[in-house]
């Protein structure tokens, strides 16, 4: 709701900014998301709804809360939607760029469903081994987005030892800053 309200403010100001809101698949069963989409569609607000579908709404599988693809729900509000492989960094970036461009040029809201998988527990009190098949976890581990980008960059000859060292050093510096601050 906040992102839609902010997007309506952007629209009233005549700016070309876009509000983007990120939420999980479980949130799509909550009233707030649906109410936000009603307003966004009604006023053609420049907002991107980005749903990370990790297959689990806490400990319930997504198939219990939606018998259709979550992206298809948006069309009921009159909002165009995209469904992408959430573990494909380039697909996510492309879908987001399409949605941002559409919103910036008066096309209104877009809904993106990025299909991924929650590898760990939902909270510190959660034990996903109670409701999740270990084989499923193993299958999704093979689709790790970082490893996929790394493999692509290596195939294209772009991930040199120098680049790897630079990324490592930068990550260490950021981690130090976070820990100290």
pLDDT value of position 174: 97
pLDDT, tens only, 10-40: 999 999 999 999 999 999 999 999 999 999 9
The CA distance from 131 to 14, in Å, is 48
∠ CA 24-28-33, nearest 5°, is: 105
Is pLDDT of 158 > 90? yes
pLDDT value of position 23: 96
Rounded mean pLDDT of 113-141? 89
pLDDT value of position 18: 98
The CA distance from 51 to 48, in Å, is 10
pLDDT value of position 31: 94
Q: What is the pTM of this model?
A: 0.89
The CA distance from 173 to 60, in Å, is 38
pLDDT value of position 162: 95
Q: Tell me the three state secondary structure of residue 57.
A: strand
pLDDT value of position 142: 92
Q: Tell me the three state secondary structure of residue 50.
A: strand
Q: What would you measure as the largest C-alpha separation in the chain, in angstroms? A: 51
- Active site members: 118, 122, 131
Q: Which residues contact 148 (CB under 8 A, 6 or more apart)?
A: 87, 88, 89
pLDDT, tens only, 82-110: 999 999 999 999 999 999 999 999 999 99
pLDDT, tens only, 37-75: 999 999 999 999 999 999 988 888 888 888 899 999 999
């Amino acid at each position: 709701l906040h992102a839609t309200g902010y997007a309506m403010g952007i629209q009233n100001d005549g700016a070309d900014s876009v509000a983007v809101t990120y939420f999980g698949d479980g949130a799509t069963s909550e009233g707030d998301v649906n109410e936000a989409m009603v307003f966004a569609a009604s006023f053609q607000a420049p907002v991107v709804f980005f749903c990370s579908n990790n297959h689990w709404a806490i400990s319930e599988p997504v198939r219990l809360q939606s018998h259709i693809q979550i992206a298809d729900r948006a069309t009921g509000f009159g909002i165009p939607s995209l469904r992408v492989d959430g573990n494909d960094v380039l697909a996510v970036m492309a879908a987001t760029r399409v949605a941002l461009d559409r919103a910036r040029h008066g096309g209104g809201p877009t809904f993106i469903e990025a299909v991924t998988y929650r590898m760990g527990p939902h909270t510190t009190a959660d034990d996903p081994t109670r409701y999740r098949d270990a084989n499923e976890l193993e299958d999704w581990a093979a689709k790790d987005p970082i490893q996929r980008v790394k493999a692509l960059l290596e195939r294209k000859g772009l991930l040199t030892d120098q680049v790897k060292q630079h990324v490592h050093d930068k990550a260490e510096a950021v981690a130090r800053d976070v820990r100290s601050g």
